[in-house]
């Protein structure tokens, strides 16, 4: 059975989708960008600031679903500019300490002009 995940502690979806869904004990998050969950405004101007906010948003979704960064098995990361790869990795590594499988690509444009978007697949642990 498909279960939709929603928490007010992470930004609301800005389109016709869920923050995340759980199917058969696996969480599939939608891509998270650097939005403040209260105002909906972009947080930060640098890749470091935006990546920190993305991780906070993912963490809140993980918590609402009963999982964690440590239980993540796969991420997909989108960068507006690959020159930010090293700085992005430095922040990413603080959160995804178990080194899940990952894809990281440069894209032409991201929603609201942000610099980074991350989606995750994680095992439900609670």
β-pair type (101-106, 72-79): parallel
Full domain range(s) for residue 102: 3-123
Q: Which residues are catalytic?
A: 104
Residue pair 44/52 in contact by the 8 Å Cβ criterion: yes
For the segment 2-32, what is each residue's pLDDT rounded down to a tens digit?
999 999 999 998 889 999 999 999 999 999 9
Per-residue pLDDT of 33-71, as tens digits, reads 999 999 999 999 999 999 999 999 999 999 999 999 999
Number of domains in the chain: 1
Report residue 126's pLDDT band, with 50, 70 and 90 as the boundaries. Answer: confident
Its pTM stands at: 0.96
Which CATH number fits the domain that encloses residue 38? 3.30.1330.40
Which H helix or E strand runs over 90? helix 85-95
The first and second tokens of residue 99, run together, are 């080194």
pLDDT of residue 15: 87
């Amino acid at each position: 059975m498909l279960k939709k995940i929603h928490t007010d502690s992470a930004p609301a979806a800005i389109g016709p989708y869920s923050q995340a869904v759980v199917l058969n004990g696996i969480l599939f998050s939608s891509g998270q960008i650097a939005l403040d969950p209260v105002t909906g405004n972009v947080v930060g101007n640098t890749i470091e600031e935006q990546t920190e906010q993305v991780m906070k948003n993912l963490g809140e979704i993980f918590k609402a679903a009963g999982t964690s960064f440590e239980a993540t098995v796969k991420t997909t990361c989108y960068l507006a500019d690959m020159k930010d790869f090293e700085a992005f990795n430095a922040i990413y590594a603080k959160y995804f300490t178990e080194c899940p499988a990952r894809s990281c690509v440069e894209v032409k444009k991201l929603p609201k002009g942000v610099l980074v978007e991350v989606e995750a697949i994680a095992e439900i642990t609670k």
